[in-house]
Amino acid sequence: MMHLSELQSRFQSFILEPENGEEISWVGGTEQVPSRDRLSVYANAYVLRLKEVLESDYAAVNRAIGDDRFGLLAERYIRQHPSRFFSLRDFGNRFAAYLGEQVEIDASLRDLPWLPELAQFEWTLGLAFDSAESTLLDEQDMASIPADAWPALQFEFCPSVHRIDLEWNIPAMWKSLTADPPETVEAIRTPGSWLVWRQDMVTRFRSLDEDEWLILDLLHRGGNFNDGCELLASQIGEEGVSMRAASLLKGWIGQGLVADAVRTY
Amino acid sequence: MTDTNGKQRPFLGYGLGLRRQHYEDVLDTKPEVDWFEILSENYMVDGGKPLYYLDRIREHYPMVMHGVSMSIGSTEPLNYDYLDRLKTLIGRVEPAWFSDHLCWTGIDKLNMHDLLPLPYTEEALDYVAERIAKVQDYLGRQMLIENVSSYVSYNESQLTEWEFLREVAGRADCLLLLDINNIYVSAYNHHFDPVEYLTAMPSERIYQIHLAGHTQEKDLIIDTHDHPIADPVYELYAEAVRRFGRVSAMIERDDNIPPLVDLLSELDRVRQIGNNFSRDQVA
Write out chain A residues lying below 8 Å of B114, CB-based: 15, 42, 45-46, 49
Mutation target vs B (from A1, A6, A8; most B CBs, 10 A cutoff): A8
- Yes or no, beta carbons of B50 and A15 under 8 Å apart: no
The model's pLDDT over A48-88, given as tens digits with 9 standing for 90+, comes to 999 999 999 999 999 999 999 999 999 999 999 999 999 99
In this structure, the strands spanning A258-262 and A162-168 are unpaired
Residues in chain B, total: 283
- Say if residue A10 is in the same domain as residue A84: yes
Mean pLDDT, range A94-116, rounded to an integer: 96
A184-213 average pLDDT score: 96
Q: Give the distance from residue B116's alpha carbon to the nearest chain A alpha carbon, in angstroms.
A: 8
pLDDT of residue B262: 97
Instruction: Report how far residue A248's alpha carbon sits from residue A25's, in angstroms, rounded to the nearest whole number.
Output: 68
pLDDT band at B4 (very low <50, low <70, confident <90, very high): low
A222 within domain boundaries: yes
According to DSSP, the β-strands at B248-252 and B14-17 are parallel
Query: A107 with A138, same domain?
Result: no
Question: What residues in B contact A204, CB-CB < 8 Å?
Answer: none
- pLDDT given for residue A20 in this prediction: 75
pLDDT confidence band for A178 (50 / 70 / 90): very high
Average pLDDT rounded to a whole number, residues B196-209: 98
Q: Which domain holds residue A143?
A: 134-265
Cα B99 to chain centroid distance, Å, stands at 6
Average pLDDT over residues A6-21: 93
Instruction: For residues A161 and A257, state if they share a domain.
Output: yes
Task: Please check whether residue A37 lies inside any domain of the structure.
Answer: yes
**Is residue A244 predicted with pLDDT exceeding 70?**
yes
The answer to whether B106 faces chain A, any CB pair under 8 Å, is yes
Q: How far is B89 from chain A (nearest CA, A)?
A: 14
Mean pLDDT value of segment B18-43: 98
Does B44 contact A at CB distance below 8 Å? yes
Model confidence pLDDT, tens digit, residues A186-199: 999 999 999 999 99
Mean pLDDT for A135-145 is 93
**Cβ–Cβ below 8 Å for A83 and B110:** yes
Terminal-residue alpha carbon distance, chain A: 70
Name the residue of chain B whose CA is nearest to A33's CA: B219
Question: Looking at the complex, does the CB of residue B74 fall below 8 Å from at least one CB of chain A?
Answer: yes
- Summarised one tens digit per residue, pLDDT across range A37-57 is 999 999 999 999 999 999 999
- Percent of chain B having pLDDT more than 90? 94
Comparing alpha-carbon positions, the chain A residue that sits nearest to B49 is: A201
Taking only the tens place, the pLDDT of each residue in B147-200 is 999 999 999 999 999 999 999 999 999 999 999 999 999 999 999 999 999 999
- For A162-168, what is the mean pLDDT? 97
Inter-residue contact B31 to B260 (CB < 8 Å): yes
Kindly state whether residue A122 falls inside one of the protein's structural domains: no
Banded model confidence at residue A21, pLDDT cuts 50, 70, 90: confident
- The partner residue sitting opposite B110, judged by closest CB among A42, A82, A130, is A82
**Does residue A129 fall inside a structural domain?**
no
In this complex, the residue of A3, A49, A87 whose CB is nearest that of residue B123 is: A3
Whether residue A125 lies inside any domain: the answer is no
Residue A53 is assigned to a structural domain of this protein? yes
Query: What is the pLDDT averaged over residues B120-127?
Result: 98
Query: Can you give the pLDDT at residue B283?
Result: 44
Q: Which amino acid is at A28?
A: G
Q: How high is the pLDDT of residue B8? A: 78
* B190/chain A closest Cα distance in angstroms: 9
pLDDT of residue A263: 85
Count of structural domains, chain A: 2
State mean pLDDT over B33-50: 97
* CATH code assigned at A189: 3.90.930.50
Give CA separation, A15 vs A10, A44, A91, in Å. 9, 8, 17
pLDDT higher than threshold 70 for residue B34: yes
The answer to whether the CB of B18 falls within 8 A of the CB of B26 is yes
Q: Please tell me whether residues A71 and A198 are part of one structural domain.
A: no
Same domain? For A106 and A152 the reply is: no
Q: Collect all residues of chain A within an 8 Å Cβ-Cβ radius of residue B82.
A: 86
Element housing A165 (H / E): strand A162-168
Q: Is B123 on the interface with A (CB under 8 A)?
A: yes
Q: Are A84 and A78 in contact (CB under 8 A)?
A: no
Residue B118 at interface with chain A, using a CB cutoff of 8 Å: yes
Name the residue type at position B249.
Answer: A
Write down the domain spans for chain B.
14-282
Shared domain for A102 and A144, answered yes or no, is no
Same domain, A140 and A260: yes
| 3 state SS for A167-220 | EECHHHHHHHHCCCCCCCCCCCEEEEEEEEEEECCEEEEEEECHHHHHHHHHHH
Mean pLDDT value across chain A: 95
Q: Which of B156, B192, B220 has the most A C-beta neighbours within 10 Å, making it the best mutation to test the interface with A?
A: B156
A184 and A228 both lie in a single domain: yes
Integer Cα distance of B232 and B212 in angstroms: 11
pLDDT in tens, B73-89: 999 999 999 999 999 99
- CB B33, CB B264: distance < 8 Å: yes
Mean pLDDT of A23-40: 92
Residue B269, pLDDT > 80, answer yes
Residue B165 backbone dihedrals phi, psi, to 5 degrees: -60, -45
Q: Are residue A66 and residue A102 in the same domain, yes or no?
A: yes
What's residue A1's pLDDT? Answer: 85
Distance from CA of B179 to the nearest CA of A (A): 20
CATH dotted code for B14-282 = 3.20.20.150
In a domain, A13, yes or no: yes
Residue A124 falls inside a structural domain: no
A6 contacts in B (CB within 8 Å)?
none
Q: Which of A169, A131, A150 is nearest to A261 (CA)?
A: A150
Average pLDDT over residues A19-48: 92
Instruction: Kindly tell me if the per-residue pLDDT of A19 is higher than 90.
Output: no
Q: Distance between CA B147 and CA B162 in Å, rounded?
A: 9
> In this complex, do A12 and B107 lie within 8 Å of one another by their Cβ atoms?
yes
For position B281, what pLDDT does the model report?
A: 58
